[in-house]
Amino acid sequence: MKNILFISFLILFVSCAKTTKNKETVNSLMDKSHFRHLRYLVTIKNETAKKHWPDFGTSDFHQPIVYYSKEKAYVLNPTEHILNNFEYQEVGYMNKVRVIQLPDSFNETTSMKFHTGVTSDSTQLNYMQPILYFQSYELTKKFLQDDLKDLEDWSIMVIHELFHGYQWSKPKMLNHRRGLSMPGGPDEFLGSYHRDLDWYKESVEKENDLLKAIWIDGADLHENLNQFESLRNLRIERIKREFDVDIRAAEDYEITIEGGARYPESLMKRYLAENRPDASFLTDEDKKSIINMFEGYDVSKDKALSDIYNSRYYYQIGYNISMILEKYQHDYKSRIYNEEVSLLKLLKELKKSQQ
C-alpha cells in the first residue's frame, strides 16, 4: 500500500513539475517581444478564422515555421527531418506548439525573407515538406521602415504566408502543385509575358477589371464572365501559338494559390475594422506599435488588393474571383483545396448555377 501511495505521489509530483516548467517556458517566451508579437498575430488569425473560415483556425500553424528575429532563428512545429538532421536548442512551447532555436548560422538579418517553399534537397530545412519563412515585426521594420505602418500591418503580411501553409496542408492541393511544370517559377513563367508584351498586359488588366466590376460595381455576372473567359482564352491561345507554351494550368494554379491567399488578408482587415483582438499579454511598449489603421476600412476601396500594379497579376485575378464567390454566397470555402483545386472551376460552377 505504501508503495502504491509513493508511486501515485511521484506521478503527481512529476506532472505538477512538468506543468510548472511549461508555464515557465511560456512566460520566458513572452518575455521576448517577437514572441508576443507572434502570439498577437496568431490571435488575430484565429479570431478572424472563427468568424470567416473556421477550418483555417483549427491549427495555429498548419505547417512548420522558420521565424527570424533580430538575434535568433527559430522553428515552430519542427519536422522529424529537422530534428534528426540539424543542430538545435529546445526553447519550449507557444500555444502548445513546440519551439526550437537554430544555430546562429541560420540567422537572416540582411535581407527580407517572406515566403513558403519546399525542396527535394535533403540538406535543406524544407526537404519534402512545405515550410513558411518569415521575420519578426522589428526585423521587417528594419527593411520596410515607414512602409510598414504597425503591428497589424505586419500581421497582414504574415497571414498571407500562414494561409499558404493551410493550402498546402491539403493533400490534393499539394499533389496538384507537384504535378505542374513551371520552369523558373511563376515570376518568370507567367510574369515575364506581362512585363515584355504590351498586348498581354492590356488583356490581363481588362480581364481583372471585368472581375472587379462584378463584386464592386454590381455588373452583370454572366456578361462580364463571358467577356473575361473570352479574353483569357484568346490570350492563352496566342501565347501557345507564338511561343509554343501552354500557360493555362500554371496560371490557374497561381490564381488559386496566390489569389486565394490574398483573400484572407481582406478578411483580417475587415475583422480588425470592427473588432479589437485580445492584447492583454502585450506590454505598453508593444501597444505603441498598434495604431488601429483599419478603422473605417472599406474593402471595395482597397485597390492594393484588387488592382494590378506589377507582373504578378494572378494575385489580383484570384482575389477578385474569391470576392465574387463571397458575394454570391457560393459555398467554396469548404471545397477549395479539399475537393477542388481551381478557383476558376468554382467560378464557372457559380455562373452555371445563376443561369
Q: How far is CA 163 from CA 10, 156, 256, 265, 309, in A?
A: 44, 11, 12, 9, 22
pLDDT value, residue 178: 86
pLDDT value, residue 335: 93
d(CA 255, CA 343): 7
d(CA 62, CA 161): 11
| Confidence (pTM) | 0.89
Three-state helix/strand/coil letters over 259-283: HHHHHHHHHHHHHHHHCCCCCCCCC
Following CA atoms 26, 28, 29, 31 in sequence, which dihedral angle do they give, to the nearest 10 degrees? 130
Beta strands 65-68; 73-76: pairing state: antiparallel
pLDDT value, residue 28: 81
pLDDT value, residue 95: 87
Of 230, 226, 232, 262, give the one whose Cα is nearest residue 247: 232
pLDDT value, residue 27: 52
d(CA 243, CA 238): 8
Mark the ranges of the chain whose per-residue pLDDT is less than 50.
Answer: 2, 5-26
Q: What is the pLDDT of residues 296-328, one digit of tens each?
A: 999 999 999 999 999 999 999 999 999 999 999
pLDDT value, residue 150: 95
pLDDT value, residue 201: 98
Following CA atoms 183, 188, 189, 194 in sequence, which dihedral angle do they give, to the nearest 10 degrees? -170
Q: How far is CA 318 from CA 158, 170, 270, 276, 293, in A?
A: 18, 19, 18, 28, 25
Across the beta sheet with 131-135, what order do the strands follow?
89-94, 97-101, 73-76, 65-68, 131-135, 115-117
Of 176, 175, 153, 173, give the one whose Cα is nearest residue 164: 173
Domain range list for the chain = 27-173, 183-353
Q: What is the pLDDT of residues 7-22, one digit of tens each?
A: 444 444 444 433 333 4
Give phi and psi for 122, each to the nearest 5. -70, -10
The C-alpha cell that represents 164 in the structure block:
499558404
